[in-house]
Amino acid sequence: MTKARIKNHPIDAVILWVDGNDEKHKEKILPFLENKVSVSSKKFRTRYDQVNEIKFTVNSILKYASYIRNIYIITDNQTPPFLKENERKYKTVSIIDHTVILKGYEQFLPTFNCRPLETSLYRIPDLAEHFIYLNDDFFLINKTKPTDFFKNGLPILRGKWLKFDENIFYKKFKKSRKGHKSVQQNAAKLAGFNRYYNFKHTPHPLRKSTFKKYFEDNPDVFIDNIKHKFRNESQFTPQGLANHLEIKHETCILKNDLQLMYFRSYKKPLIWYRYKLNIKSNNKLFLGLQSLDLCPPKILVYILHWLEKRMS
């Protein structure tokens, strides 16, 4: 993609972030919990707690995707402290409050659920038609190009086709887990598919117009997905819906090479993480570190130090 083409198709980045350690956030969430004790459980807390990963997410974009026009961080009346430390460095970074993207739907606030927010990303004022959505535990770890995300204006979707759980014999007799795959399957069904294009935890290239047109045509679907304050098994993942709509309309490019290194548990010895991060990462573009707040202290210190060096 030439410089002229980048100019014609600006790309923004959007990140969801919450500081679950914030006492005000904890106070805000309590009235909506049936089981007040659950707020202290590891399973519950890991969806909200953080170890300042957002700093590395932003720095990774600045270093390895310098063509990104604007970086928007979606928060609930919070600002990551690192942004205040060097305003000049982060001049392209903006904080967007939940009230902005859910303007007109304030009755559903506050929300403690990523899916209503993901459903509403396209409502960010002045958001580029082409944007990349990342969670705050996604990182770019090598130089990227616009064509790693969009080619001729079309999103590049990384994943593979899978059957619905209900169509897999052995899963019919197994209690299903209502998680990431389940909401992807809900999205595929909504778009009219009888199987689903499974995506992993990589940055998601998305087009604003795909969301806008669908939700303007299907306002009830929008409401049904934003009304839940906590995750609900009836919901769909909005980026999954966008992906399947792009596939349906043949307005995307499918790629089975994820170019991803992904950790979701931290039970292996430190030497294993050293090897993965220092050797295996050289031919990857993306790193996902799920639930880093649950990482053992020794390994956490090493990973954070590695991120600091990689993003500096």
Peptide bond into 110 cis (omega under 30): yes
Per-residue pLDDT, 41: 56
**Number of structural domains in the chain:** 1
Query: Domain range for residue 302?
Result: 9-311
How far is C-alpha 26 from the geometric centre of its chain's CA atoms? 22
Parallel, antiparallel or unpaired: strands 130-135 and 204-207: antiparallel
Question: How many whole angstroms separate alpha carbon 116 and alpha carbon 235?
Answer: 9
Q: Is the residue at 274 inside a domain?
A: yes
CATH number, domain containing residue 247: 3.90.550
Q: Is the residue at 148 inside a domain?
A: yes
Q: Is the residue at 154 inside a domain?
A: yes
Asked if residues 188 and 240 have their Cβ atoms less than 8 Å apart, the reply is yes
Pair of tokens at residue 172: 């019919």
All residues at 6 or more sequence positions from 309 whose CB lies less than 8 Å from its CB, including other chains: none
Q: Is the residue at 1 inside a domain?
A: no
Question: How many whole angstroms separate alpha carbon 39 and alpha carbon 43?
Answer: 9
All residues at 6 or more sequence positions from 54 whose CB lies less than 8 Å from its CB, including other chains: 15, 17, 73, 80, 82, 136
Residue range 295-304: average pLDDT?
95
Question: How many whole angstroms separate alpha carbon 239 and alpha carbon 114?
Answer: 12
Asked if residues 161 and 197 have their Cβ atoms less than 8 Å apart, the reply is yes
Pair of tokens at residue 24: 């005000």
Per residue in 139-159, pLDDT (tens digit) is 999 999 999 999 999 999 999
Q: Is the residue at 2 inside a domain?
A: no
DSSP state of 103: T
Asked if residues 58 and 90 have their Cβ atoms less than 8 Å apart, the reply is yes
Q: Is the residue at 144 inside a domain?
A: yes
CA contacts within 13 A on the Cβ side of 270: 9
Asked if residues 51 and 297 have their Cβ atoms less than 8 Å apart, the reply is no
Per residue in 196-245, pLDDT (tens digit) is 999 988 999 999 999 999 999 999 999 999 999 999 999 999 999 999 99
Q: Is the residue at 286 inside a domain?
A: yes
Percent of the chain with pLDDT over 90: 77
Phi and psi at residue 282, to the nearest 5°: -70, -20
Per residue in 255-288, pLDDT (tens digit) is 999 999 999 989 999 999 999 999 999 999 999 9
Cα dihedral across residues 220, 250, 186, 40: positive or negative: negative
